[in-house]
């Protein structure tokens, strides 16, 4: 679930925060992200987007700045560099685990490092470790993607934020997307080689604009012409890429249409239309496109929240009176859709649809704000899944990945007029979108491929280079996108080698850089998680729409749901505080032995790790600090600390950190630092103590 940023106790100097000019809501903690900009270049259907983020440390100790944010599922990130003073460092691609190890080792030894990784398909995380006090660092990352073709017009959407998400992501707490931060403005520059570009909801003046970070950047591109684009692969081969609007087919539609009517669909669809909810926009869209259906088309309509309900089919017996009018048949079942309510259990809904219907295609219409689906299992059903995302705060992760894996289309509606996006998605079912490839019989290398993506036909071809070329960002963009198209055709080993060679951020590889020249920093940096702004459309929904009918409920435990992570209540914590009143010697199975994970859950490990690693509890609230001191006085703890030559308070902090290490990277670093001198066997013994509470 996307978390709203917590604001724990802090002892930071409020004057420093005032000087920084921006603080996290409810705290005197300065926000390390001080500037954001986007440079967009569009050429023959290919968009190259460079994101620049400037981080500044206004605190007295070194910090680590992290931000987790949405990215287009079809975007491929291929370049990362950091400007430190007057030096520019470029990142290298490594296997995902190796890159994380490189980064953690650098942070542990006091070096400044940057890591960009794909934590989920459609969700990236940027970590900037050891920004020295009073210093500034700029990170630039570049991704490539095609425009989306909708009714002959190109569209580009850059998502910037997302609200609450149903279900569990499977990420560590410290890696999750969080929102609730203040809204900031970003600089946008747009360059288009041909045609015209419009910024929806804003104005571009001489290629520049200011955009808020609480809504996506939506660009409409008209008047562009397809042509061959050239790039150079890392292995020296030339690659040609052509992007052009799909022409469409003439096959009858035989599809399941699955409509999200969870509580979030009662939010407004667009900030420009505060009187229209996402759900209402869907129905309005269906009414506009119903006339394009044919007698031979068969569409079965479903709706879901926590549960799945079949509405009916255009071929149902109940529609016999209007069988010769496909528009009326379709609108009759659309009128049976019910209003928004409940949770967004996409996984159970799609599982029910795939087992209850023989249709070859599935169109999911949703805001995508759910982690509750098994993408790989659904992809193995043999169905083709396409997705239309509704709303400014829609999320491409998971549902977009499902579409990509199964040869379906992904359309993200820009604004409240969703009819043309629904029409494009349905009409795409009239043609075959299977990937077509050709390999060299001698080298087994891919020589060409053709695939449909987001209403576009993409054709890539490779050949041996016949002349030298100058590397440009645009040429690298072509090579990176072509490589991303080829990766699904390779086994894991070959795909990893290709991604590393081309410098891609994927589920297999990350980009990492380490500054070997800068002065080393001492200790563990305090982690400052940057919160995304809450989506403006979501905020407007609560202000302008009667939400009484939108019964937003928690997920149901029906054997298929993926419920949100339970709130950490303070009741267990209070029980542990009571335990500290009795400091008698326990046996190894004493029921009074502290539940360290309950204590650990109350600590902000990111705030002042350098203090915690030394046993300094000044950054904690008084109750927590007193509880730790009392536990440290326990006879068994004192004996354990003496045996391992550790400070008793530091040992208790380490035990609590071990309990939280799987959820929080700072906790893992603190535990490792305190127990650094211990052998692996000793650390295993320490970890075994966690099992005494029966939960770790």
Position 448 in a domain: no
Report the chain's mean pLDDT, rounded to a whole number. 85
* Residue-level pLDDT at 510: 98
Q: List the Cα angle 20/23/29 in 5-degree steps.
A: 90
Last residue of a domain, one of 378, 405, 428: 428
**pLDDT above 60: residue 522:** yes
Number of domains in the chain: 3
- Last residue in a domain, options 368, 396, 428: 428
Pair 78, 222 in one domain: yes
pLDDT tens digits for range 626-652: 889 988 888 878 888 888 888 999 999
pLDDT in tens, 151-188: 889 999 999 999 889 888 889 989 999 999 999 999 99
Q: Do strands 526-529 and 436-439 pair parallel, antiparallel, or not at all (unpaired)?
A: unpaired
Q: What is the pLDDT of residue 444?
A: 79
Residue 550 lies in a domain: no
Q: Which domain holds residue 267?
A: 254-428
475 domain-assigned: no
- Residue 512: CATH number of its domain: 2.60.40
Indicate whether 538 pLDDT > 90.
no
Q: Which residue has the tokens 């159970």?
A: 348
Q: What token pair was written down for 274?
A: 């505060």
Asked if residue 282 and residue 141 are part of one domain, the reply reads no
- State residue 272's pLDDT score: 79
Are 180 and 118 contained in the same domain? Answer: yes
Of 401, 428, 455, the position where a domain reaches its end is: 428
260 and 129: one domain? Answer: no
pLDDT class for 12, splitting at 50, 70, 90? Answer: very low
The per-residue pLDDT for 408 is 93
In 14-133, beta strands by DSSP E:
33-43, 46-56, 63-70, 76-84, 87-90, 92-95, 113-120, 123-131
- Distance between CA 209 and CA 88 in Å, rounded? 26
DSSP helix/strand/coil, 545: coil
- Which residue reads 């359309």 in tokens? 411
The whole-number pLDDT of residue 559 equals 37
pLDDT of residue 641: 87
- 350 pLDDT band, cuts 50/70/90, is very high
- Average pLDDT (502-508) is 97
415 and 511, same domain (yes or no) = no
Same domain, residue pair 208 and 276:
no
More confident residue, 643 or 566: 643
Instruction: Kindly state whether residue 463 falls inside one of the protein's structural domains.
Output: no
pTM given for the model: 0.86
Residue 187: predicted pLDDT: 98
> CA dist 370 to 119, 530, 539, 623, Å?
16, 22, 19, 37
Q: What is the pLDDT of residue 307?
A: 94
Is 618 contained in some domain?
Answer: yes
Shortest CA distance to 145 belongs to which of 412, 398, 390?
412
Please tell me the total number of residues recorded for the chain in this structure: 696
Whether 205 and 307 share a structural domain:
no
The model's confidence at residue 78, banded by pLDDT at 50, 70 and 90, is very high
Least confident stretch, 399-403, 433-437, 546-550: 546-550
Could you please report the per-residue DSSP string of 294-333?
A: -TT-EEEEEEESSSEEEEEETT-GGGGGGTT-HHHHHHHH
Which pLDDT band holds residue 558 (cuts at 50, 70, 90)? very low
Same domain for 312 and 177 = no
């Amino acid at each position: 679930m996307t978390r709203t940023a917590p604001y724990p106790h802090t002892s930071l100097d409020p004057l420093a925060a005032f000087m920084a000019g921006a603080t996290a809501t409810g705290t005197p903690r300065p926000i390390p992200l001080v500037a954001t900009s986007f440079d967009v270049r569009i050429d023959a259907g290919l968009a190259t987007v460079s994101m620049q983020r400037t981080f500044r440390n206004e605190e007295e100790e070194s910090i680590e700045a992290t931000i987790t944010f949405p990215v287009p599922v079809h975007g491929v990130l291929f370049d990362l560099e950091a400007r430190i003073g007057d030096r520019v460092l470029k990142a290298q691609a490594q296997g995902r685990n190796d890159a994380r190890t490189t980064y953690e080792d650098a942070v542990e030894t006091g070096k400044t490092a940057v890591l960009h990784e794909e934590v989920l398909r459609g969700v990236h995380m940027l970590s900037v470790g050891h920004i020295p006090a009073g210093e500034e660092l700029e990170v630039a990352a570049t991704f490539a993607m095609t425009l989306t073709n909708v009714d002959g017009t190109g569209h580009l959407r850059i998502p910037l934020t997302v609200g609450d998400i149903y279900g569990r992501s499977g990420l560590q707490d410290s890696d999750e997307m969080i929102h609730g931060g203040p809204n900031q403005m970003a600089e946008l520059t747009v360059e288009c080689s041909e045609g015209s570009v419009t910024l929806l909801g804003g104005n571009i003046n001489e290629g520049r604009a200011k955009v808020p970070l609480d809504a996506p950047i939506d660009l409409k591109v008209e008047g562009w012409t397809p042509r061959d684009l050239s790039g150079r692969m890392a292995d020296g081969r030339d690659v040609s890429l052509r992007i052009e609007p799909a022409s469409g087919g003439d096959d009858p539609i035989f599809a399941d249409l699955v409509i999200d009517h969870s509580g979030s669909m009662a939010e407004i669809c667009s900030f420009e239309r505060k009187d229209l909810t996402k759900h209402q926009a869907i129905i309005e869209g269906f009414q506009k496109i119903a006339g394009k259906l044919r007698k031979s088309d068969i569409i079965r309509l479903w709706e879901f929240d926590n549960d799945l309900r079949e509405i009916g089919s255009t071929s149902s017996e109940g529609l016999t009176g209007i069988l010769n009018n496909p528009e009326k048949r379709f609108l009759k079942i659309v009128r049976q859709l019910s209003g928004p309510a409940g949770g967004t259990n996409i996984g159970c809904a799609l599982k029910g649809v795939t087992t209850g219907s023989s249709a070859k295609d599935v169109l999911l219409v949703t805001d995508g704000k759910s982690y509750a689906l098994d993408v790989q299992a659904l992809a193995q059903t043999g169905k083709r899944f396409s997705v239309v995302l509704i709303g400014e705060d829609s999320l491409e992760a998971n549902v977009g990945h499902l579409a990509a894996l199964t040869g379906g289309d992904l359309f993200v509606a820009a604004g409240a007029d969703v009819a043309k996006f629904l029409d494009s998605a349905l009409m795409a079912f009239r043609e075959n979108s299977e990937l077509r490839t050709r390999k060299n019989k001698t080298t087994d290398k891919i020589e060409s491929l053709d695939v449909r993506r987001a209403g576009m036909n993409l054709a890539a071809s490779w050949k041996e280079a016949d002349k030298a070329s100058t590397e440009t960002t645009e040429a690298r963009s072509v090579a990176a996108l072509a490589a991303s198209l080829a990766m699904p055709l390779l086994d894991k080993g070959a795909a990893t080698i290709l991604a590393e060679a081309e410098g891609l951020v994927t589920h297999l590889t990350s980009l990492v850089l380490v500054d070997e020249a800068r002065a080393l920093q001492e200790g563990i940096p305090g982690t400052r998680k940057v919160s995304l702004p809450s989506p403006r459309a979501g905020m407007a929904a609560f202000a302008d729409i009667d939400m009484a009918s939108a019964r937003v409920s928690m997920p149901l435990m029906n054997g298929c749901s993926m419920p949100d992570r339970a709130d950490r209540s303070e009741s267990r914590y209070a029980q542990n505080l009571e335990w500290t009143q009795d400091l008698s010697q326990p046996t190894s199975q004493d029921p009074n032995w502290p539940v360290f994970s309950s204590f650990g859950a109350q600590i902000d490990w990111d705030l002042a790790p350098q203090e915690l690693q030394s046993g300094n509890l000044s950054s904690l609230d008084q109750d927590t600090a007193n509880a730790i001191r009392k536990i440290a006085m326990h006879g068994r703890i004192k004996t354990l600390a003496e045996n391992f030559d550790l400070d008793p308070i530091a040992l208790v902090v380490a035990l609590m950190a071990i309990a939280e290490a799987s959820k929080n990277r700072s906790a893992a670093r603190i535990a490792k630092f305190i127990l650094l001198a211990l052998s692996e066997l000793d650390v295993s013994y320490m970890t075994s103590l966690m099992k005494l509470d029966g939960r770790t």
